[in-house]
Amino acid sequence: MATVMEIYQLLPKTNCKECGKSTCMAFAVDLLARKFKVEDCKPLVNEDKYKENYQKLSEMITPVGDVTETGLIVHEDKCIGCGNCVVACPVNVAADPAGAGSGKAPTSEKVILKVEDGVVRAMNVQECRRFGENKILCVACIDTCPTKAIEFV
Amino acid sequence: MSDDYYVCTGCALLCDDISVKVEEEKLTAVHAACRKGVAFMKGCSHPMEAKINGEKADAESAIKEASKILKSAEKPLIFGHANSSNAAQLKAIELARKTNAYLDDTSSFCQGPLIEAIMEDKLKTCTLDDVRHKADVIIFWGSDPASAHPRHMSRYSYFPRGKERQRGWEEDRTVIAIDVRKSDTAEICGKNGLYQIPVKGDAEFMDALVSALSGKVPKTSYDFDKKRLLELSSIMKKAKFGIIFAGLGMVYSLEDNEPLYRLMEKLNSVSNFHVIPMSGHYNMVGFNKNLFEETGYINRVKFESGEIKHGPEYSVVEALRKKDVDAALVIGADPYSSLPRSISRNFEDIPLIVIDPCQTLTSTRADVTIPCGLVGVESGGTAVRMDGVEVELKQIVESGRLSDEDVMTKILEGL
């Protein structure tokens, strides 16, 4: 996953404010959180000298598609449907100990991750530990993914 | 979605918690299975057609032609069986008996040595359910389930909670990968979980572990970090229920099983360890079991008017290399894809019959092709999981294609 500094290094670093943010650093933070698109940085797109950086950034910041409220993205092209995240997720285990918690197919509607047609899908995201007031930075689904198909933005 | 659970035949894990959606006798959605299983269950992109010498034919006449070829052959080869049901495998054994055939399956160049050792009680084994309920030290040796058996870690080995492992993977289980490269599985094992050894270094590593377990200094010719080896041996010593998942990486690297026997003997004198070979195709172990019950051997046999001969010279590779076969029947395998060209080329000189649901590289070169239903989807039956547990497969859709068992029965009748 890209870091803010990596993104910042590829930006023009002129603090031109065309994007509406006061500095390029602030833009980098919002770009990482997918609040902005790479194309929102006008000099990067229009000026030839930034062409290479623009390309690199576009590869680094993959399009989000369906990003959930917790910022969870499943890269479907990378996901192999192994279900490691489904079984490892502490919320799934609490909601469905005999199904998802024991390695079998989820039997409850309350689970937040589920493998459908070979790809993992997120649902009931409000139950995710990374959601709401008392959120914690749980990484159970990221650490257990063999192909790094899950990302939080 | 279906209320019933079905079994996925994508790999030897035979996951039995799959729910499906069927529209017009076709699977439109497969839930809980991995990507590999979904692709397998949804059927082939190129279904095979019945053909005789490249000309389209109906299944009945293709079966008759197959019987004719096998009847006139003196030393046919019957090979494959890894992707067919137990019932079809038993028929294949009967067919081999009647036609004095060479009979071999994919385990001949796969997990054969380990499966043989387990069936002869030379290695201690357990079931995958035991692993889920009890295992605390899990070793993937030369195997990469994240690629070959995607649901292995989530269904049985590492992540699920079990009766004696209630607190989950972070606290209750230790996972270790011993491999020549950083595989996707090793990625999950963490920073200290990968023991990277050179190619063909497995036997020495096993002996070094035996030394470490006996309290001696573990030495290897490739100078593996002794501290880490001692660390690993102490993890193994403390295990309450240890399991080694042996992959092809380990099998291909060992000249014989002796180093593994030595390691397992030592491990079981200080701790409690088991071995499960990671077989790939869904019913390879089933064939080994069936043939073992019938003949006392797991593969590589030749029937000769009631007599049974066994040995490496009767393997599919040797039989083809010596050009000692005059016809071949391939069922549930694709030797053109898995054998070297120098060996598979010998199929070209003899009449070749292929029975499979999908078009394969082998079927495109065959003289007679007979389509059959996909077991576990278009026809039912039973199959044996990688740990030797028999699983029942239910039919999901009605496709009108003959099951592999029916095809084999009809060929037998035609003789």
Instruction: Tell me which of B277, B296, B315 is where a domain ends.
Output: B277
| Residues of chain A contacting residue B169, judged by C-beta atoms under 8 Å apart | 88, 144
- Residue B405 CB burial class (10 angstroms; 0-12, 13-18, ≥19): buried
- Give the pLDDT score at A70: 67
Question: Which residues of chain A are within 8 Å of residue B187 when distances are taken between CB atoms?
Answer: 146
Chain B hits for A83, CB-CB cut-off 8 Å, are 32, 34, 150-151, 154-155
Could you read off the pLDDT of A16-54 as tens digits, one per residue? 988 888 999 998 888 887 778 888 888 888 888 888 888
Residues of A (83-102) whose Cβ lies below 8 Å from B: 83-84, 86-88, 93, 97, 101-102
**If you average pLDDT over residues B161-172, what whole number do you get?**
91
Q: Could you tell me if residue A112 is inside a domain?
A: yes
pLDDT mean across residues, chain A: 86
Beta bridge partners of B194: B177
pLDDT at B103 over 60: yes
Residue B409 has pLDDT above 90, yes or no: yes
CA–CA separation, B123 and B274 (whole Å)? 8
Inter-chain touch A93–B156, beta carbons under 8 Å = no
CATH number at residue B197: 3.40.228.10
B241 shares its domain with B330 = no
Q: What confidence tens digit (pLDDT) does each residue in B332-367 have?
A: 999 999 999 999 999 999 999 999 999 999 999 999
Best A117, A123, A138 residue to mutate vs chain B (most B CBs within 10 Å)? A117
Instruction: Give residue A66's pLDDT.
Output: 56
Question: Is B17 touching A (CB cutoff 8 A)?
Answer: yes
Same domain as A78, residue A56: no
Same domain, B151 and B272: yes
Q: Is the pLDDT of residue B151 over 60?
A: yes
- Indicate whether B30 belongs to any domain: no
Mean confidence (pLDDT) of chain B: 94
Together in a domain, B264 and B302: no
Q: Is B241 on the interface with A (CB under 8 A)?
A: no
Q: Do B169 and B85 have their domain in common?
A: no
What CATH number is associated with residue A23?
A: 1.10.15.40
pLDDT tens, position by position, B137-148: 999 999 999 999
Both B340 and B270 in one domain: the answer is no
Residues A90 and A116 in one domain: yes
Question: ipTM of this predicted complex?
Answer: 0.88
Assess if residue B308 is contained within a domain. Answer: yes
| Residue span of the structural domain in which A25 resides | 4-60
Looking at the structure, do residues B77 and B214 belong to the same domain, yes or no? Answer: no
Out of A86, A97, A118, the one facing B161 most closely (by C-beta) is: A97
**Total structural domains within chain B:** 2
B188 to chain A, minimum CA–CA distance in Å?
6
Size of interface A-B (CB pairs under 8 A): 97
CATH of the domain at A142: 3.30.70
B213 pLDDT higher than 70: yes
Q: Are residues B289 and B362 in the same domain?
A: yes
pLDDT at site B160: 94
Q: What is the DSSP letter of A49?
A: G
Q: CB count, 10 Å around CB of A48?
A: 7
Q: What domain count does chain A have? A: 2
Q: Which of residues 127-166 of B touch A (CB under 8 A)?
A: 132, 146, 150-151, 153-156, 158-162
B124 and B183 together in one domain: yes
Q: What pLDDT shows up at residue A1?
A: 61
Is position A96 within any domain? yes
- Show the domain range for B76: 46-109+282-414
Q: Is residue B334 part of a domain?
A: yes
